[in-house]
Amino acid sequence: MFNITVIARQSNEIVKLCSELVKYSFQCTVINSSNAIEQVEKQAPKLLLVEFTGSSDIETLCRYLRREKNLPIIALSPPEKIESLGIHIDDFVAAPYNIKELATRIKRLIQRKTDVDGEQISIGDLTINKDKYEVYVNDRPISLTFKEYELLKYLASHAGRVFARDALLNQVWGRDYFGGDRTVDVHIRRVRSKIEDPTHNYIETVRNIGYRFIKK
């Protein structure tokens, strides 16, 4: 049974949701946002369900938990709040909740996280062997420099998320790196030239923001 932490207000709706998820082999623990960081640390869940209220506190909390704990997050959202969900959310379900659909999305995200945390990342025809520092496209070995490899691995490990250039600098080059964000553009261009062709497109430029590894 997979352990899931639900960050939400105590309500009949949330209690019912958790009791229904038990039928799909999920064990849910409901906590409130005020002590969420401490409780998540203790419970070590596979995934977070977060009741989205639109408050800046919830946004900040989710951003922190994604960055520090690298946990998948699904937002439980009123329909009118969906457009304002942040990029630190992996997925969402709108109220009233379809439990079967929610269970399917939870399993998919947990499996994706398991795949990424393992020795290998496989997305489409791209394979990254983290144990051997090897990259293949359609079984063809790709020669990358260390930083090109680290940049590709980081983006592929967070497929679908948009990263600003300075965020990629911090994550791949480190906070003490003094080069400009053009370094990211240069490395992205080099990685693309090695892994992409007319039939393979992996990295997307998000105008005025940065880059995203495309989900397959």
Which tokens in the block code for residue 23? Answer: 């039928």
* Tokens describing residue 141: 């070995």
> Alpha-carbon distance 163 to 178, whole Å?
19
Residue 87 has pLDDT above 70, yes or no: no
Once rounded to an integer, what is the mean pLDDT over residues 179-194? 89
CA distances from 131 to 79, 114, 118, 123, 168 (A): 42, 15, 9, 17, 22
For the chain, the average pLDDT equals 86
47 has which bridge partners? 4
Mean pLDDT of 165-177: 83
Mean pLDDT, rounded, for 8-30: 92
At 115 the pLDDT is: 63
Q: How far apart are CA 206 and CA 178, in angstroms?
A: 24
Over residues 163-186, mean pLDDT: 83
Of 11, 97, 161, the C-alpha closest to 105 is 97
CA distance linking residue 142 with residue 83, whole number of Å: 39
Which one-letter amino acid corresponds to residue 25? Answer: S
Give the separation between CA 67 and CA 107, rounded to whole angstroms: 21
Q: What is the pLDDT of residue 44?
A: 87
Render pLDDT for 100-133 as a digit per residue (tens, 0 to 9): 999 998 988 887 776 666 678 888 889 898 878 8
Q: Do domains 2-117 and 120-213 have the same CATH topology?
A: no
Query: 120-213, which class in CATH?
Result: mainly alpha
Q: Is residue 171's pLDDT more than 90?
A: no
Q: Which of the four pLDDT bands, split at 50, 70 and 90, describes residue 168?
A: very high
| Domain boundaries, given as residue ranges, for the chain | 2-117, 120-213
Residue 163 has pLDDT above 90, yes or no: yes
pLDDT more than 70, % of the chain: 90
pTM for this structure? 0.55
User: Encoding tokens for residue 62?
Assistant: 């989710």
> Among candidates 104, 46, 54, which has minimal Cα distance to 77?
54
190: confidence class by pLDDT, cuts 50, 70, 90: very high
Query: Does the pLDDT value for residue 154 go beyond 80?
Result: yes
Which of the pair, 50 or 89, is modelled with greater confidence? Answer: 50
Pick from 40, 36, 30, 35: nearest CA to 9: 30
* Residue bearing the bigger pLDDT, 214 or 108: 214
Q: What is the pLDDT of residue 132?
A: 80
CATH class as words, domain 2-117 = alpha beta
**Tens of pLDDT, residues 20-34:** 999 998 999 999 888
pLDDT at 176: 63
The reported pLDDT for the residue numbered 23 is: 92
